[in-house]
Structure 1
């Protein structure tokens, strides 16, 4: 078992770009007078951990760099398609031991849940551990996070060759090519994995707009948010037909 330093350096890295194929510019689209990215950042700050934004070198992402500067968020810029290299660059530049991966199209992430996940990860003191609520999915899409070590990230960065592995950051880790990755899962009951709280399409945006503007969803805990969806199937129906893009 590989051990961490006594006080590991932890960072939440959120990937973002303006050139999304299904809904370009989505992360800065306004909802309730604020860009979606505002809600994403506000929820992540509830985890009380350092936060970094990994964006592309495209000129289109200059507005994201400006947003980050206003919010006091460090930025790393890199390849649009090789997102794995952006994560590695951020981990190296800021000397991170533990990386929390999130995506910027998730405006209602649960910061306290993410914090508890990191605390559990630290207790395990195992750099071969991958901990997430993604592989055994019981949370809605849009509440996703993955926690892994710089050691696992380094292996992926240096060994992954498939474009899909580099674009989506963690598939190489999921494949456990070394045979030494240990997987643990954060789950909840009841299972609400069929709900969709990410923003990838116009229908997804319509749901998030309704949740925030009509129900103040950005001020709700995850339990309260899921209870709201349970009570309003008409809201769930807004994007229930959307299929997640395949990795």
Structure 2
């Protein structure tokens, strides 16, 4: 998202319709690009942060959730300079840019904006609780565990990772996360486009070590570790026969000394 061409001019984000599901945000679709955008705004409607263009509503929703989660975390907001202009950039835990501010003429103005952005209260969508509190209603959309195994792993600047991305025989796009012993830790749903898959992958990567982003759920007598963000399931584990078997695979259940060696 660091490419400036992914953003519209700041005036395009001004005066847009309030997001009914996320207080403090505005949302719109640009008529020219046909992409979906959001902005974090102050109480007067001034743009604090603007988004890139998303190809679908679900991806934009994930972007808003990522802003809400990351903007108050120390070190995620920073000031960058482009020629004579300064702007604030918000990045996720994986160092990927999520959103940026409008331009400022001085570094001091940009630094003052960081405090305003970080302290801006945002209320995410509240999902009504029904009879069941399960997020995982079925396994529809997930492949069998074996279908995620033996895929080419992703390499980054540190070497080989435990992450895989692939296209299934159904032509949908998936990702998986391997344990150190090459068994499957987490698996994704199938997505219609690579962009949609990659947006969810990025959100998964920024939350995978956060124990508060996991739930253990029972579905059909089996237990699953569910990684989520707000009301969105990002990935699920294989099935287990007991709650404790599923729990000990998550950051909250693993010995603390092993957390840094995951993936």
Q: What TM-score range do you get, normalising by the shorter chain?
A: under 0.3
Task: Decide which structure has greater helix share.
Answer: 1
TM-score (normalised: structure 2):
0.26
TM-score (normalised: structure 1):
0.27
Highest RCO, 1 vs 2 (Cα 8 Å, sep ≥ 6): 1
